[in-house]
């Protein structure tokens, strides 16, 4: 078969584990940290909105409405 003599681009070069891809590592950790920060910020906003609406529901003032 003809396919036996072809080389895949993925195995043409062996990975060099002595020199890690620090840019890729930094991008991976940076992206993860940014996503976690956004998640925590969104969560805190949601909790504040929940607390505000809960207090609004429990408010029994006749002069407000």
Pick 15 or 26 by higher pLDDT. Answer: 26
Give the per-residue pLDDT at 16. 82
- Cα-Cα end-to-end distance for the chain: 83
- Alpha-carbon distance of 55 to 47, in angstroms, equals 12
Give the per-residue pLDDT at 9. 61
The answer, yes or no, to whether residue 28 has pLDDT greater than 70, is yes
- Alpha-carbon distance of 3 to 13, in angstroms, equals 19
DSSP character for 64? Answer: T
Predicted TM-score (pTM) of this structure: 0.61
Give the per-residue pLDDT at 6. 64
Q: How confident is the model at residue 10 (pLDDT cuts 50, 70, 90)?
A: low
DSSP character for 9? Answer: T
Cα-atom radius of gyration of the chain, to the nearest Å? 27
């Amino acid at each position: 078969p003809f396919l036996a003599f072809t080389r895949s681009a993925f195995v043409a070069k062996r990975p060099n584990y002595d020199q890690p891809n620090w840019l890729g590592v930094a991008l991976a950790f940076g992206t993860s940290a940014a996503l976690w920060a956004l998640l925590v910020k969104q969560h805190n906003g949601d909790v504040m909105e929940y607390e505000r609406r809960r207090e609004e529901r429990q408010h029994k003032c006749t002069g407000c409405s």
